[in-house]
Structure 1
Amino acid sequence: MADHYETLGVERDASLDEIKKAYRRLARELHPDVNPSEEAAERFKSVTHAYDVLSDPNERQRYDLGGDGSGGMGGFGDIFETFFGQGFGGGQRGPRSRAERGDDAMIRVDVELADVVFGVQREIVVNTAVLCGTCQGSCCQPGTSPVTCDVCGGTGQVQRQVRSLFGNVVTTHACGSCQGYGTVIEHPCVECGGKGRVSERRTQTIDIPSGIETGTRMQLRGGGEVGPGGGPNGDLFIQFRVMHHDVFNRDGNDLLATVQVSMTDAILGADTTVEGLDGGVHVVVPPGTQSGDVITVRGRGIQALHSTQRGDLKFAVQVVTPTKISSREKELIRQFASHRKDPAPALGEFQQGLFGKIRDRFFRAG
């Protein structure tokens, strides 16, 4: 078996660029369209096979370690390519486009609970690939353009004739000189290195809808990375996390909170205004209110996702018993107690503490 390095006329430590230049030089000399002789055709097959092996880092490593550089399939791979399409699994014919769809991107955004009530506009920062401003995606230095590959003639493919159990068969492969594009960029754009895109940190305004929950994802079509060669953008996915609030909790689209009520207000009842997430909330404490009772204010919760309907705001009452009172107050309370004639303290139904009681009543309240 001929040595692939000798076939291409390069040293064993040759760089990929040196291997590519050697192949292009020999291909221009031996291509069947240029030199129709049988000897040239055989040499062209050998040169192309040597390039296929040495231009692939994995194949080259196996070859350097003593492998035959056949890629494991040998002649049978070429037979399957002939009968079932290009590249064993099938493939496209003709030159492939440099422009490819960009990757999708995903970022995580923290949202305050107050912003979930009605939704909010927010500016986000995205690190992604954008169109190169110098070459506008052409991949070429301004004033230049890709040139037709002189090995494949712009088809992006080359043919090889190999011997098999069925005789000589012709297989089609992507051109190794132009990588199947059909053109060669001789003067790549300096700004993007011939990729047609560059990395950039950009700011974007998004509309965060009401009613989102932790884990909710939003898809912005075309908001992801621009593709190589100025290809279409991928999509941008935004995953939200609703931050903890010290006062309000959430149950679906309902808001939950605890309101502290004095002993006298719990007995006599009271009207008060507390500060909600979207302004003042009028709360009516009925006479005789007990700790753990739930006061519901309709329509002051969270606006549902993709809807105008709002949940409720529910307050669990905590009656606060004073710990420091004056002698006069004690006397008045004694007089009150003497007129009430309430029964002595007694055992009642077991409760999992005040907050267990509050929690249970939250979910039973309508």
Structure 2
Amino acid sequence: MVLKTFGWSFAVTALGLVAAFLYGSWTAFGLVAILSILEVSLSFDNAVVNAGVLKKMSAFWQKIFLTVGILIAVFGMRLVFPVVIVSITASMGPIEAVDLALNNHERYEELVTDAHPAIAAFGGIFLLMIFLDFIFEDRDIKWLGWLERPLAKLGKVDMLSACVALIVLLITSMTFAVHAHQYGGVHADKSQTVLLAGIAGLITYMVVGGLSGFFEDKLEEEEEREHEAEEEAKRSGKQVTGAKLVGKAAFFMFLYLEVLDASFSFDGVIGAFAISNDPVIIALGLGIGAMYVRSLTVYLVRQGTLDDYVYLEHGAHYAIGALAVILLITIQHEINEVITGLIGVVLIVASFLSSVRRNRALAEAEGNGPGEKAEVSSGV
């Protein structure tokens, strides 16, 4: 199972490290290895969240996610995206930007760093919307009940997530953006840039998420029929798998996953410049890491880990919320990428341990006597 799921990741790792060695000897080899670890540590929460979406999709679209999707993730976000940012912010053509990336690493890093406020605002608001939509939804299973219950009640207000996100964006544009961090430690007023980029992030989330949700809703009747068939199968001792997203619904879910991956990638792409400003090394290192994140996502789906450890999804979304806040703060203040990665890991580990405690409590309750499973406290 592990080899089948992670086989491509192992192969890409070997090829990437060999390419790095040929490109820049042992120095490049070491930098690529470090960047790979950085990407995995920063994006572990991405894998958990992606798994929650991917499990709704058919096997075909899961393969598309691992093949076409990884090409978009590696070449699009890890290689092309920084070049596009430089091209737009420096008002130069893409060919000139590529030449700059390959032949003038310092100037390339400067332009990408100067574009960080816009990148952080776009990604921060997009991720914040994901967190808010999750936390404002009334769920049967709650991890931090003392927090999630009152927020779920507030979530009954229409468009609350968008309102909160816009308020956060407005505050950010009037505070952090006024003294936005730029290359060389200088600061500049990027209020308008941050405001426009944040609105673009909000619009992107609403359009992509809305389209995927629209087509997903069309399957509700089919899923209801599938549920009835599943109940009938249980009574007869057979097993029926749930309905999976296909066609347009799966396509827009795929787009949603790609945008989600892109938003998670912002901190990794920007943070990579703290380790190397060579675009080839960055692409190799982050590309290897991205492959492992994709494989981990599929592994979580196939193993049913999210069903067994019910608080993992909660922990991942809290990590998303933390990352969104961190991205917005980094518009003015520099925050070490290690801190960013550790916050996500700590939240996910905590949710995993809470899930383990819950499973043990349920097992003990079943052992004490028959009866319907009752929801137990997460212990947090």
Q: Same fold (TM over 0.5)?
A: no
Instruction: Name the structure with the higher helix share.
Output: 2
- TM norm structure 1: 0.20
If asked which structure has higher relative contact order (CA below 8 Å, sep 6+), I would say 2
Instruction: Name the structure with the higher strand share.
Output: 1
- TM norm structure 2: 0.19
Computing the radius of gyration over CA atoms, which structure comes out larger, 1 or 2?
Answer: 1
